[in-house]
Structure 1
Amino acid sequence: MRQITAVLVGAGARGRFVYGAYAKKYPAEMKIVAVAEPNEERRRLVATEHGLSSDQLYESWEQVLSKVKMADVAVISTQDRMHYAPTMKALEHGYDVLLEKPMSPSADEIIAMANASRMHNRLLTVSHVLRYTPFWSKIKEIITSGSIGKIVSVQLSENVGYFHMAHSFVRGNWNKSEETSPMILQKSCHDMDILSWLIGEKCAKISSYGSLLHFRPENAPSGSALRCTDSCAVERECPYSAVRIYEEDSTHEWSRFITNDLTPEGINEAIKNGPFGRCVYRCDNNVVDHQVVNMEFESGSTASFTMSGFSHDVSRTVQVMGTLGEIRGYMEKNEIVLYPYGKDAIDVSAAAEEGGHGGGDEGLVREFLNQVRDENNNGGQGLTSAEASVQSHLMAFAAEQSRLEGGSSVAIAELSAQQTCSVGS
């Protein structure tokens, strides 16, 4: 197995804890040989973790991608609105690219990146990690086998988790759509992609409703403060307390995303003075905290999707209803039950794998590296190529347009026709 060398562009949570972690766990498969990251502390951490010297550290993507090509691949895990330029430059320089989702909040940029991948004959794989999980792969396998006949309707729920909602979409980096992406694109393009993949058709029409219902100043409890540590009278009872989520969690599941100093003093300092210690009712957020989407596909099959920031856990549940049977699944418990009509229910086994997103994070990287090693397949169509991702991104754009227009039906073909789209799905 040939070791693949990589330039890491962006060393935040996904960059360090997913792609960087894969290289540390499987050094024979992948080696980080350079990093571009404006934050000096993050650069130093990556240097230590991957044994990089000072001449392998760069402050910007422009610096590293202006050099002669120095690796097999570029892994781009910058913020949403910073994907386009480094991706285009990396493809131009001959890198195969692994790009964090969403590709871009601009349809024109998405289409340009897909076209550039084809023009330069390079891989551009988008991190729609759910397709790479044993759970969703098994459901797709059942559907393809014909066990449930033709799909009539699918119901998919994304339960964001109250603590995840507060961390990422109220206090955190993705709390303002104009600076990153709308919630349906940033968080739920995974779900648009999965629905499109399972049904195996293009979506024809979409309508959507949703709003920022709860995390607003007028909903702040009496006695609350600007920050959780500012003598807030209700902090002990508040489920969104930063002290509860970050300081009292001994696993550091979320505190590692607010500071690199995981000592009690470091976490306390981040809560007291950083953005993650703010009261959730007094942040500058504007993304929705709940949304529903209704879809009709080309053959008449329908799907409904619900995203809610108000759930006790982070999970996805699905119900696939066909003409001959039904599938019900609970992703985080790795539970799949097949109900053939007129027969006994069948518990379906899906191998549990380690890693984030039910094993999808590692599955994505592994498949990307394998495709890079296949020199005859450069520029080919991987499971989540840019061209495959165009459809799910257009679905997300249409859903957001519908939501902003009060739930009007939006035809994907009309939305696509507004773009200079020459790629397939």
Structure 2
Amino acid sequence: MPRVKVIVVGAGSRGQTYSDFASVHPDRMQVVGVADPRAFVRRKLQECHKIADENTFDDWHRVAEKEKFADAVFICTPDRLHKDPAVALAKKGYHILLEKPMAVTEEDCTEITEACTQSGVILTVCHVLRYDPAIRKIKELIDNGAIGDVIHIQHFEPVGFYHFAHSFVRGNWRNETESSFALLAKSCHDVDLIHHWAGGRRCIKISSFGSLSHFRRENKPPGAANRCLDCSAEADCPYSAKKIYLDRVKMGWTRWPVSVVCSTSLPDIESVTEALETGPYGRCVYECDNDVCSNQVVNMEFEGGLTASFTMVAFTKEICQRKTSIYGSRGELSYNGEISVFDFLTQRSTKHEVDMNVPGSFSKGGHGIADYHLVDSFLSAVERGDPLLIQSGAEETLASHRLVFEAERARLESRVVLCGTDRV
């Protein structure tokens, strides 16, 4: 089949990661355009994929103004800038790979879904966890009746103490008015997984509790400075920017989170030091404009009596290493890096292994394995014109996003929300 030609709108960390598929499989994918207002990341992607100057833009609007020159668009802009390019470029006939969350309001999510449906283009939202081989195996075991009827799902996301400080205190997702609330920005993945495992049963009730803990001005140590590099209390602070970024780059580590600190150059000791002296990532975690939840629990009841509980917490050693227990009428499935099923009849546990091998840079930790399978599925769907090849299409993604909005409404209004019918 001919290569799928792709335009990357938003050349930051996610845009770079997804576009790397073209370097691993140049026979299947070609990056032919890039749009990003930041000159450094735009040029970096252009040079990596040898993109022509006439297809390199500082504004996605210029892509929409041109005659269609690719098959698909990867939209990896900030959360609040998803809707407009997604709608406009879907109407131009581009298939859309859209970074999660789909958008920051239910209305915008609905508009994106309708635009893609009416234009007849494939929409894949980057719920990358769905493409993780272990997650897919869990779904296969459930569907094959390995634990009988699913009765309860318990799912936990440990965000990680320095990950939360990086992304949700100092970083791009720290402030709801500039990005979105934490459950949407960080954990729409997880609510989507619960919805996925529920197997088409509709969620009928939802409640949620959570708040911003610890990262407040009243918890600032006495005598601490407003920036970590000038701070006398830095040595005793686990959230020190010096420890999280500068000490890592001194050891030769230039991947995430160091890779996103410098917006105008590759990270080295000098550029990271300058960024911490002047930029947002060098600020004291107790003096930021953050307002999103650091811990939250969501409780759900689905049709047929299935219940589910999801917990997100910032203050953990592990970084996004989800833990899941699914309880059924005939057995119990647990996942904590490996999948195990305990059968009530035989009283035996069985471990289920999955192939976690992927090529190139996608194998280097994080959710790179899932990233690889996400892009692979999207390209296969575009190549064959078959949206059934993706795991996170428009309508199902819209349904799981609606649960996230309902959960946050339940938290803000301190009540149980009857999903879809309880609006006030």
TM over 0.5: yes
SS at match of 1:413: coil
Matched, 1:255 2:254: no
Matched, 1:213 2:221: no
Contact 2:102 2:109 in 1 (8 A): yes
Q: Distance in 2 between matches of 1:63 and 1:209?
A: 43
Distance change >3 Å, CA 157–CA 358, structure 1 → 2: farther
Match of 1:422 in 2: none
Measured after TM superposition, the shift of residue 121 of structure 1 is: 0.9
Match of 2:5 in 1: 5
Alignment partner of 1:344 out of 345, 348, 356: 348
Counterpart of 1:398, as a letter, is E
SS at match of 2:341: strand
Match of 2:395 in 1: 387
Where structure 2 has 5 or more consecutive residues not aligned to the other structure, the ranges are none
Matched, 1:323 2:329: yes
Match of 2:374 in 1: 364
Contact 1:352 1:358 in 2 (8 A): no
Q: How does 1:47-86 map to 2 (within 5 A)?
A: 47-86=46-85
Counterpart of 1:320, as a letter, is I
- 1:136-185 superposed Cα distances (whole Å, 9 cap, x missing partner): 01111111111101111010000100111001000000001122111111
Contact 2:377 2:389 in 1 (8 A): no
Counterpart of 1:264, as a letter, is I
Q: Distance in 2 between matches of 1:282 and 1:381?
A: 46
Where structure 1 has 5 or more consecutive residues not aligned to the other structure, the ranges are 419-425
Counterpart of 2:405, as a letter, is F
Normalising by structure 2, what TM-score? Answer: 0.94
Q: How does 1:8-407 map to 2 (within 5 A)?
A: 8-16=8-16, 18-200=17-199, 201-230=201-230, 232-249=231-248, 250=251, 251-252=253-254, 253-259=256-262, 260-314=265-319, 315-330=321-336, 333=337, 335-342=338-345, 343-354=347-358, 355=362, 356-357=366-367, 359-375=369-385, 377=386, 382-406=390-414
Normalising by structure 1, what TM-score? Answer: 0.94
SS at match of 1:248: helix
Contact 2:100 2:127 in 1 (8 A): yes
Contact 1:337 1:347 in 2 (8 A): yes
Contact 1:205 1:409 in 2 (8 A): yes
Q: Distance in 2 between matches of 1:369 and 1:261?
A: 30
Q: Distance in 1 between matches of 2:354 and 2:214?
A: 37
Identity of paired residues, percent?
40
Measured after TM superposition, the shift of residue 381 of structure 1 is: 7.7
Contact 1:184 1:396 in 2 (8 A): yes
Contact 2:381 2:389 in 1 (8 A): no
Measured after TM superposition, the shift of residue 124 of structure 1 is: 0.8
- 1:232-259 superposed Cα distances (whole Å, 9 cap, x missing partner): 1221121111111111113223111111
Post-superposition, which runs of at least 4 consecutive aligned residues in structure 1 deviate over 4 A? none
Q: Distance in 1 between matches of 2:173 and 2:6?
A: 26
Measured after TM superposition, the shift of residue 2 of structure 1 is: 2.6
Q: Distance in 2 between matches of 1:264 and 1:21?
A: 26
Counterpart of 1:347, as a letter, is K
Contact 1:126 1:385 in 2 (8 A): yes
- 1:253-299 superposed Cα distances (whole Å, 9 cap, x missing partner): 31111113222111111111110000011100000000000000111
Q: Distance in 1 between matches of 2:49 and 2:61?
A: 21
SS at match of 1:236: helix
Q: Distance in 1 between matches of 2:139 and 2:127?
A: 15
Distance change >3 Å, CA 70–CA 43, structure 1 → 2: same
Counterpart of 1:326, as a letter, is E
Q: Distance in 1 between matches of 2:22 and 2:90?
A: 22
Q: Distance in 2 between matches of 1:294 and 1:228?
A: 38
Q: Distance in 2 between matches of 1:209 and 1:365?
A: 34
Match of 1:423 in 2: none
Q: Distance in 1 between matches of 2:297 and 2:159?
A: 13
Measured after TM superposition, the shift of residue 302 of structure 1 is: 0.3
SS at match of 2:299: strand
Q: CA RMSD in A?
A: 1.4
